[in-house]
Structure 1
Amino acid sequence: MTLPDIRIETERLLLRLPQAEDFDRFAELVGDPVAARYIGGHLPRGAAWRKFLQQPGAWAIQGFGMFSFIDRDSGRWLGQGGPWRPDGWPGNEIGYMLHPDAWGKGYATEGLAAAIDWALGHLDWNEFIHCIAPENTASQNVARRLGSTYRGEGRLPPPFHEAPCGIWGQTRAQWLARKEGGR
C-alpha cells in the first residue's frame, strides 16, 4: 500500500506524513515524563516505537492521521498534529503533541490551523474536537486561539477511561466563519 505524499507548508512549518527519521525525536518526547504527562504517559523506547507506528497505521487504514510538523529552516521534527479518530473516541479530534524544545513558540497553533484546513477540505467532518486534560492550560490556550470552546467533560476509551478529559471543539461553520473574518 502506498501512502499519500501530502506536503503542506506554512510560514515556518512543513506538514507531512510521519517518516522513520522522525522517530528519535518522537521517542525523546514520549520518553520525557513531563512532556508525556498529557499524551498517555512516559514510554520507554520500545513502547515509543509501537506508539509511533499508530499514525502511519492510521494513514494506511483510515486515510488520515496526524502530520509530522517539521521546521522548514532546519528540517527538525518538532512534533505531530492533525486529524485523529481511534475506535471509541468521543469525536473527530484535531490533536497534537510537541517536543519540549518546540513549546511556547506558536508551532501548535500554526500547524494545527493548516491541519484543520486540510481535514475539513478532505474529510467529511462537520465538527472537530480537542481532548484536553483539565490541568493542561497550555493546550486549552491553543484550543482557544484556534477558536474552539469548552464543551464539557468527556470520556476516552480504555485504557485512558479513568483520566479526566475536557472536550473542546467547534463546527466546520464556526471554523470557516472565523477564517473569513481574518482570525
Structure 2
Amino acid sequence: MTFAPAPILETDRLILRAPVAEDFDVYAAWAAEEEVMRYIGGAQVRAVAWRGFCSIVGAWTVRGFSMFSVLEKSSGRWIGRTGPWQPDGWPGTEVGWALARETWGKGYATEGAVACMDYVFDTLGWAEAIHTIDPANAASQAVAKKLGSTLKGLAKMPAPFDHLPAECWSQTRAEWAQNRKRFG
C-alpha cells in the first residue's frame, strides 16, 4: 500500500510537519531531558532516541500517519512532537503530544493537538482518538480535558511499556464535532 506524502498542518503559532533528518540532533537533546521524558518512558541516550525517532519517521511509511515535528512559527525552531500514533499492540488510535520544557504553559500542546484531532477525524477518518497519559501527569490530563476528552479508565499498554501506568482518555468523532466548537 502506498500512502500520500505527509501533510503540513499550520496553526496560528505552529507548523506541524513530518520529521526530517535535520530534526534529530534537537530531538535527541529533548529526549535526554529527564523532566521532559518523565511520563513517557524516561530520559534516553542518543542511540535509544535514534530508534524512537526512526520509529516515528517509519510509521509514516508503514501506517500512513505518525507524529509530526512541531515547529514554532516565530522562531522556526523544533519544539516537540504531536500527532497520531498507533504502534503495534497500542490500546487505540492515539493523538499524543510531548513538547520542549521551555514551551510548557504557552498553550502549544493544546493548539497542536486541536490541529491533529481535526486531521485524524477529517482526513484519516478515525472513529475515536485516545490519549494515553501517566496518572501523575497533571499537565497532559489538563490538555486532554481542554480537548474535551474524558477519562475512560486504565490503558493496557504493550510490552515493553506494560509496566508503566497509563490512563486512557478519549472521545469519538461525534464528541469532537461538538468539542471543536470551543476552539473557534
Structure-2 change in CA distance of 1:11 and 1:181 (3 Å):
closer
With over 3 angstroms needed to count, the CA separation of the structure-2 counterparts of 1:51 and 1:3, relative to structure 1, is: farther
Shift in CA distance, 12/159, structure 1 to aligned 2, threshold 3 Å: same
Secondary structure, aligned partner of 1:35: helix
How far apart are the structure 1 equivalents of 2:3 and 2:148? 35
2:26 and 2:75 mapped to 1: Cα distance?
14
Q: What is the rounded CA distance, in whole Å, between the counterparts of 1:131 and 1:158 in structure 2? A: 15
Corresponding residue for 1:107?
A: 108
- Per the TM alignment, residue 5 of structure 1 is displaced from its structure 2 partner at its CA by 4.5
Dislocated runs of 4+, deviation >6 Å: none
For 2:31 and 2:4, how far apart are their aligned partners in 1?
25
Seen in structure 2, the aligned counterparts of structure 1 residues 22 and 3 have a Cα distance that, compared at 3 Å, is farther
Task: Report the residue type matching 1:87 in the other structure.
Answer: D
What is the number of residues matched between the two proteins?
183
**What is the RMSD of the two structures over their aligned residues, measured on CA atoms?**
1.6
The percentage of aligned residue pairs carrying the same residue is: 48
5+ residue gaps, structure 1: none
On the 8 A contact 1:3/1:60 being kept in 2, the answer is no
Normalised to the residue count of structure 2, the TM-score between the two structures is 0.94
1:8/1:114 contact within 8 Å kept:
yes
Q: Is the contact between residue 14 and residue 72 of structure 1 (CA under 8 Å) also seen in structure 2?
A: yes
2:63 is aligned to 62
Deviation readout 1:3-41 (Å, 9 max, x if unpaired): 715111100001111111111221112101121111121
Q: TM-score, normalised by structure 1?
A: 0.95
Q: Deviations over 1:120-154 (max 9, x none)?
A: 11213111100000000000001001111111111
Tell me which amino acid in the other structure corresponds to 1:176: A
Please show how residues 33-112 of structure 1 align to structure 2 within 5 Å: 33-112=34-113
SS of residue matched to 2:38? coil
Q: Which moved more, 1:97-106 or 1:127-136?
A: 97-106
Partner of 2:154: 153
Give distance in 1, aligned partners of 2:146 and 2:23: 27
Q: Which residue of 2 aligns with 1:24?
A: 25
Inter-partner Cα distance in structure 1 for 2:22 and 2:63: 23
Contact 2:131 2:144 in 1 (8 A): yes
Within 2, Cα distance between the matches of 1:181 and 1:160? 34
Whether contact under 8 Å (1:25, 1:99) holds in the other structure is no
Distance in 1 (alpha carbons) for counterparts of 2:64 and 2:135: 30
Residues 28-84 of structure 1: CA distance to partner in whole angstroms, max 9, x if unpaired?
Answer: 121011211111211111111111111110001110001111011111001111110
CA distance in 1 between counterparts of 2:33 and 2:182 reads 39
CA 31–181 in structure 1, closer or farther in 2 if over 3 Å, else same: closer
- Specify the code of the residue in structure 2 equivalent to 1:121: D
